[in-house]
Each structure stands twice: as structure tokens, then as C-alpha cells.
Amino acid sequence: MNYYNSLQRFYLRKFYLLIPAAIIILACLGSFVAYYLTKDGMGGTNFFLLFLSVLGAMSYLTAVLGQFSPKATFRVFIFGLVLELVLLGISLLF
């Protein structure tokens, strides 16, 4: 929890500088997930996981464009990052 708080303080101090970096990170991670999910074909499960990947990648962009508070955008960024990492792990394992 201490690491989360220190990361949040860093994010809030440099909020406007980190918006483009966070968008790039989530977009690149989402593209990796999309590649590994669609590599083996598009079944129903892969399509649903691809939908979740797009949801994770676009949620942060929606929060920034919707002018959420910086704390809320940080939470959305962490949510998207964790979701993308879990989906990447799932797509690499199966």
C-alpha cells in the first residue's frame, strides 16, 4: 500500500506530464494483448477478452477526456494497467 501511495503522489505532482505517457503505456500494452489474443483465431472467448482489452485501454482515455479528477484518473489508470497485465498473462499462458 505504501508503494501505491508513493506512486499516486508522484502521479498527482506530475499529472499533466504523465497523461501522454500513461496513454502510450496502455495503448502499447493493449496492442500486445490484442496481438496475442488474435494470433490463434477469433473464437467467442478471445473476442470477449479482446473486448475487455479495449475496455482497459480506452477507459483511461475516457477518464482524461471526461475531465475526471486527477485521483480518479489515477485509479482508472491502475485499473486499466492491471486489467491489461492480467489479460496479457492469460493470453500468453493459453
18: Cβ contacts below 8 Å, ≥ 6 apart: 11
pTM: 0.91
Mean pLDDT of the chain: 94
**How high is the pLDDT of residue 49?**
94
Instruction: Give the sign of the dihedral formed by CA 28, CA 31, CA 36, CA 37.
Output: positive
* Residue 90, pLDDT score: 93
The upper half-sphere exposure of residue 76, i.e. CA atoms within 13 Å in the direction of its Cβ, equals 22
**Residue 40: pLDDT above 90?**
no
The pLDDT-based confidence of 15 (bands split at 50, 70, 90) is very high
Q: In which domain, by residue range, is 39 found? A: 2-93
Burial class (CB in 10 A: 0-12, 13-18, 19+), 40: exposed
* Closest-CA residue to 63 (of 85, 48, 83, 78): 78
Number of domains the chain contains = 1
